[in-house]
Structures are given as structure tokens and as C-alpha cells.
Amino acid sequence: MSDEEFIRNFEAGTLRAECFHHKEHVRVVWSYLLRYSVLETLARFSESLKRFAAANGQATLYHETISWAYVFLIHERMARRAGEQTWQEFMETNSDLFDWQNNILKSYYEEVTLKSDLARQTFVLPDRLEAQGR
């Protein structure tokens, strides 16, 4: 499926939940960032993800801190590369962004923070000392 078709299906809520895992979340953000500013990406991705979750009977699944943190991480990785990468190249050079089990956010956030209702409902800044360079 092309990026355009993938995005259209995601935004319409017609992708099946069992076909939309962490890698696909990253693909949507990467695709948005090729087209939109980081702020527009945050708005589009957040609204579309909420709609997607609701369409699949999981309206409470949306987590703002995780969603936004990944948008910022992906944006930074894309900005650090000279020139545009294909999706395949992006995956190969940023494998740490795709490992959900050893989630990169563990370097930035305490587990209790990410499990909090506050982090689920609003973006919370990183709270781990390693992330702050200390």
C-alpha cells in the first residue's frame, strides 16, 4: 500500500487494528513529517489516532505523551539526516525507534510517569536524568 493510501485509510479509521502496530504508527508520523511541519503533524496525528482508536472500540488507548514524544524523536532524526530518506532507509538507520519492547522512551521517562493519567491526557516533559545529560 502506498504512503498516500495508507494515510488515507488511517485518517478514515478504516485500517484494521490488528494491522496497525508500533511500526505503522512510526510510518504515519514519518509520512506526515515529509508533508507537514512538526506542529501540523502533532495536530493531525493526534486527532487521527484518537479517531482510529475510537473506530476500533479503544477510545481510551490514546496516550498523548507517548504519541508526542515519538513525533518529536522522529522529527529530530529526520532533521539530522542530510537529504530525504526512503521509508526503508529511515527504518534501517533508526532501528531503536521501532523496538517497542525496549522502548526508547525508557531513556527519557520514569515508568510511573508514563503510566500516569496526566501523561496519558497531556504531554509531559521527560523526567529522567539521563535524558537531561546529568
Residue 14 DSSP label: -
pTM for the predicted model, two decimal places: 0.90
In whole angstroms, give the CA distance from residue 111 to residue 33.
28
Which amino acid is residue 88, in one-letter code? Q
Please compute, for residue 91, the number of CA atoms within 13 A of its CA located in the half-sphere on the CB side: 12
Range of the domain at 40: 3-132
The tens place of each residue's pLDDT in the chain, 134 residues long, gives 788 888 898 888 787 777 788 999 999 999 999 999 999 999 999 999 998 888 888 878 899 999 999 999 999 999 998 777 899 999 999 999 999 888 999 999 999 999 999 999 999 999 986 655 54
Grid cell 506542529 is found at 39
When divided into structural domains, the chain yields a total of 1
> CB burial class (10 A; 0-12, 13-18, 19+) of residue 109?
buried
